């Protein structure tokens, strides 16, 4: 058992972070992070590295932003996570050769795979004690929404057809527009969050397209063959501007947690996604700080108790006519996690302490996160893509001059309190890697660039 962690540094904006951290004890266990292209991985590497933890990054992609962070002390190549057998075999080989690492989930795929093989991996890694059943049920949207309803959370109207003909019949009965979405993102080669369909003809075309690109591996289909079929969900226009995000840590601090009355949510922050790419349905580019909603904290606490989940989470709700409908739950590190770290919630350090069963450090971190809950006007932006999308859509006419002025004004007003997805004055190389990575991707996939960045589809 490694020695108790030293006190973690309080969260600060990147500009306030010291360029050098004081020397830390060598008895801290190292941590293994994977999928260095994800911004949550970069945020975790910086947070843990600044706390004195030796960070090993496993990712073979040369332009993965986390790979270039100064807070990564060791870099190793590993198979892509979409080669699940090879990826897990590599994890086992690395763990046996380098025992004692803490292994933390950095994506849906990684969370699912390490939970599925937990018994083998726990022989050589320290891990958060969440069961496979908990992870699997939270990453399958059908199971997730059923659990959510059972604990009193509101959810969107959702249907689960098991053929294209069923999907067409259902859509005609309930009416368009509708969202056509993958039932799970686990081992999902297309990476799509879903598509908006406005007519029967469009549904048939997009259904075939989604099925062609989203062939799940045998590991998923063996457990539930119906996962192969996209689901239909009611589309709410407010989803383009009114997504509430509740993020935090579900666990058990000694005595009473930071939100002890909520049954194990020991740290939490609220935010609103105000801009995404594409704007109707996509990945968040800009978030604003928002107050915690006690009813939603209670509901997510109940959901975690019901499923037995323990660890970092982010839950998304679409706000419709005064209701908050749960649309997603991420049981792992998430894209804008740096925003919440800057707001005083050291989620990677909480996960690290929990995996080591270091209760003293865990409780101290939970208390520190609770003390920093007061809102302070912070915002988050993926500045590179934010600027690129504004310029591209204004040039194409898909963004009006008035909208451009609005977003320019928003950035000018908040830039002093902003967290950037990648940019950090004390860790500059990841920003260059991220920019080069996006330019390379758009050069290789020009239709994707035009569709998402120019035509806003």
pLDDT digits (tens, 9 = 90+) for 198-250: 999 999 998 888 776 555 667 777 778 888 899 999 999 877 778 999 999 99
Q: What local confidence, expressed as pLDDT, does residue 257 receive?
A: 41
**Looking at the predicted structure, is the pLDDT value of residue 442 above 80?**
yes
**Looking at the predicted structure, is the pLDDT value of residue 27 above 80?**
no
| Annotation: CATH topology of 14-130 | Rossmann fold (3.40.50)
Mean pLDDT, the chain, integer = 88
Share of the chain above pLDDT 90, in %: 73
Give the strand pairing for 55-58 and 74-76. Answer: parallel
Mean pLDDT of the 291-307 span = 96
Q: What local confidence, expressed as pLDDT, does residue 58 receive?
A: 98
- Among 1-10, 208-217, 252-261, 308-317, the range scoring the smallest mean pLDDT is 1-10
Q: What local confidence, expressed as pLDDT, does residue 212 receive?
A: 66
**Looking at the predicted structure, is the pLDDT value of residue 9 above 60?**
no
Share of the chain above pLDDT 70, in %: 88
**Looking at the predicted structure, is the pLDDT value of residue 142 above 90?**
yes
**Looking at the predicted structure, is the pLDDT value of residue 259 above 80?**
no
Report the distance separating Cα 318 and Cα 316, nearest Å. Answer: 7
**Looking at the predicted structure, is the pLDDT value of residue 96 above 70?**
yes
Mean pLDDT of the 433-445 span = 92
**Looking at the predicted structure, is the pLDDT value of residue 17 above 60?**
no
**Looking at the predicted structure, is the pLDDT value of residue 67 above 60?**
yes
Mean pLDDT of the 159-185 span = 94
Phi (first) and psi of residue 263, to 5 degrees: 70, 45
Confidence of residue 25 (pLDDT cuts 50, 70, 90): very low
Q: What local confidence, expressed as pLDDT, does residue 280 receive?
A: 75
Tokens for 61, please give them: 């992609």
157-233: CATH, from 3.90.550.10, 2.60.120.10, 3.40.50.970, 3.30.1490.20:
3.30.1490.20
Nearest to 133 by CA among 331, 273, 320: 331
Report the distance separating Cα 189 and Cα 213, nearest Å. Answer: 7
| Residue boundaries of the structural domains of the chain | 14-130, 157-233
The sign one gets for the Cα dihedral 88, 90, 96, 101 is negative
- For 72-93, b/e burial (b = at least 16 CB within 10 A) is beebeebbebeebeebbebbbe
């Amino acid at each position: 058992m490694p020695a108790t962690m030293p006190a973690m540094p309080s969260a600060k904006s990147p500009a306030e972070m010291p360029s050098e951290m004081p020397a830390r004890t060598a008895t801290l266990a190292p941590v293994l992070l994977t999928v260095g292209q994800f911004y949550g991985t970069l945020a975790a590497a910086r947070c843990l590295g600044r706390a004195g933890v030796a960070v090993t990054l496993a990712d073979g992609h040369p332009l993965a932003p986390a790979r270039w962070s100064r807070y990564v002390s060791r870099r190793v190549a590993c198979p892509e996570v979409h080669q699940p057998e090879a990826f897990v075999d590599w994890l086992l080989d690395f763990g046996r050769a380098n025992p004692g690492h803490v292994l933390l989930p950095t994506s849906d795929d990684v969370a699912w795979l390490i939970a599925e093989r937990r018994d083998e991996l726990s022989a050589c890694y320290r891990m958060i004690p969440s069961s496979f059943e908990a992870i699997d049920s939270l990453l399958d949207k059908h199971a997730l929404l059923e659990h959510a309803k059972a604990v009193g959370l509101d959810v969107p109207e959702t249907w689960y057809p098991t053929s294209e003909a069923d999907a067409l019949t259902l859509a005609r009965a309930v009416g368009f527009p509708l969202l056509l979405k993958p039932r799970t993102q686990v081992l999902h080669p297309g990476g799509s969050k879903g598509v908006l369909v406005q007519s029967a003809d469009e549904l048939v075309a997009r259904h075939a397209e989604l099925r062609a690109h989203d062939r799940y591996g045998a590991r998923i289909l063996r457990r539930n063959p119906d996962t192969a079929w996209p689901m239909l969900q009611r589309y709410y226009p407010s989803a383009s501007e009114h997504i509430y995000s509740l993020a935090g840590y579900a666990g058990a601090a000694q005595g009473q947690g930071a939100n002890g009355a909520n049954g194990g949510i020991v740290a939490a922050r609220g935010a609103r996604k105000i801009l995404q790419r594409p704007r109707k349905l996509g990945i968040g580019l800009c978030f604003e700080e928002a107050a915690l909603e006690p009813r939603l904290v209670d509901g997510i606490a109940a959901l975690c108790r019901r499923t037995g989940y323990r660890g970092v989470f982010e839950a998304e709700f679409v706000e419709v006519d005064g209701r908050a409908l749960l649309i997603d739950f991420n049981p792992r590190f998430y894209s804008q996690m740096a925003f919440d770290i800057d707001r005083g919630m050291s989620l990677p350090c909480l996960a690290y302490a929990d995996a080591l069963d270091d209760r003293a450090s865990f409780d101290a971190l939970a208390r520190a996160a609770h003390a920093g809950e007061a809102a302070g006007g912070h915002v988050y932006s993926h500045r590179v893509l934010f600027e690129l999308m504004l310029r591209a859509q204004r040039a194409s006419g898909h963004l009006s001059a008035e909208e451009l002025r609005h977003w320019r004004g928003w950035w000018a007003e908040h830039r002093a309190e902003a967290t950037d997805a990648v940019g950090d004055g004390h860790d500059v190389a990841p920003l260059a890697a991220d920019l080069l990575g996006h330019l390379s991707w758009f050069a290789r996939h020009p239709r994707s660039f035009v569709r998402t960045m120019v035509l806003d589809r």
